[in-house]
Structure formats: structure tokens, C-alpha cells
Amino acid sequence: MEREYLLPLPCRDIECCRILPVKLNGYSQVEFETNRYSVPADAGYRNLILKAYPFRVEILHMDKVIATHPRCYEKHQDVIDPLHYLPLLEKRPGAFQHAKPIRRWRQKWPKAYERLLKELQSRWPDGRGIREFVGILKLHLDHPQEEVEEAVEMALNYGCCHLDGVKLCLNQLKMERKEIPPVELDSHPQLVGVGDHPVDLGKYDLLLEGEEE
């Protein structure tokens, strides 16, 4: 009897999170419960929304997620994704050595990165070396971390220590790992046995005879 008085269910699931508007500070961060979470520094977003889930924090602009971080339950902490600051450092290479996101990242990135950075700075000490290295770090935006690290190792071994060289190694790795599906000949019976015929080298003699004529 009470069914006619019930409201319909919502058309989408109710998210189990806190939702609140946030503003950027001068370091491209938003604050939530005293902690500061980074967002990409090259966009200058306004009217941001933060969604705080039990174990993660999402930051949105116009309903699009622009940053995701593990939720921090400590106080007054900087939760930083160094990839958010690479476009800015590419324009300001002089700030690279002192930038907090880079200093934190350098504590755990592979030794090959330090070798590559040293090589680039030695080759181009005027700032281009840093920009080239930042361009290599930006490959992390589109490729898995393991693949970029392996491509850097390959580039060092091959002696192509620059952005284009790392990209080439990355493409080579992807080609090597790409699985080629087997050819199914059930629907193409005319191809069965192709490649199994004995080689007739006499065909080459015919070609030579044609040339002599």
C-alpha cells in the first residue's frame, strides 16, 4: 500500500565522500583538513571541487578529475605529485635543483636518472640539459613508470642520451612486447602450406639469363 508514496531511486549511485569547494594557493595546491594536495601547475584552475573518500582525495574542475592522491590523515603535510610541476620547471630550469617535488622524487628515483641528468648537464650546461631532462620525466605522464625507467637505461647503454633517444628506446620496447596474433588459416585454405615448398634456386639463373639478353 505504501509503494505509491515512495520516491524513486536516484539515477546514479550516491558517492560515499565529502564534497567541498577549494581554492588554489600560490604553490598549485589545495588545502583539506590542514593538508595540502597538489594539482597540475600549468592550468591555473578556478572553481575546484574536492572529493574526500576514505582512502583517496580527488580534485575536479568542471566535473573532470585533474588530480588524485592517497588521503593523508596526518596534519600539515604536503601531498605532492612531482609530475604536476614538470611543465612549470620546463619553463624555469633554474628552479629545478631546489624544487621540493623534485628533491623528494630524487630520493627514490633510479640511479640511471642521475647518470642521465649528469650527462645532459655536461653536454648542455646553459639550461637546455635540464629542459631536456624534464621532457624525459614528462614521459611518465603517458607511459608506465617501469617502461620509462627501462628506456632510460637503454638510452644510456646505446649512448643516445637525449629526449629523442629515450623516446626511440621506449618505442622499441613497446614493439618488442607487442604480441602478434597467430594467423588463422581455417577461412583461407589457399594459404595452407605457403612457405613449406622447396626452394628452387634455378629461378635466379633465369633472371640472370634475362639480363644477359
Same domain for 19 and 33? yes
Same domain for 97 and 157? yes
pLDDT for the residue 211: 56
Would you call 170 exposed, middle or buried from its count of C-beta atoms within 10 A (0-12, 13-18, 19+)? buried
Q: What is the dihedral of CA 174, 180, 181, 187, to 10 degrees?
A: 140
Kindly state whether residue 204 falls inside one of the protein's structural domains.
Answer: no
Domain boundary among 34, 63, 80: 80
pLDDT for the residue 198: 75
Kindly state whether residue 124 falls inside one of the protein's structural domains.
Answer: yes
Q: 157 phi and psi, to 5 degrees? A: -65, -35
Same domain for 38 and 123? no
Residue type, 12: R
pLDDT for the residue 177: 67
pLDDT for the residue 162: 95
What 3-state class would DSSP assign to 161?
coil
Residue 200 Cα distances to 33, 119, 190, 205, 213, angstroms: 80, 54, 21, 10, 22
Residues constituting the chain: 213
* DSSP state letters, 195-211: T-SPP-THHHHHHHHHH
Count CB neighbours of 26 within 10 A: 5
Number of domains observed in the structure of the chain: 2
Same domain for 88 and 173? yes
Q: What is the span of the domain harbouring residue 29?
A: 14-80
- pTM of the predicted protein model: 0.75
Residue type, 166: V
Q: Are 94 and 127 in contact (CB under 8 A)?
A: yes
CA 140 to chain centroid, in Å, comes to 3
Same domain for 115 and 161? yes
Rg, C-alpha atoms of the chain: 28
Same domain for 90 and 76? no
Query: In which residue ranges of the chain is pLDDT below 50?
Result: none
pLDDT for the residue 149: 96
- Grid cell listed for 1: 500500500
What 3-state class would DSSP assign to 61?
strand
Residue 133 Cα distances to 105, 107, 109, 110, 158, angstroms: 14, 17, 13, 14, 17
Kindly state whether residue 187 falls inside one of the protein's structural domains.
Answer: no
Q: Are 120 and 82 in contact (CB under 8 A)?
A: no
pLDDT for the residue 122: 94
pLDDT for the residue 213: 53
Percent of the chain as helix, strand, coil, to the nearest 5: 45, 15, 40
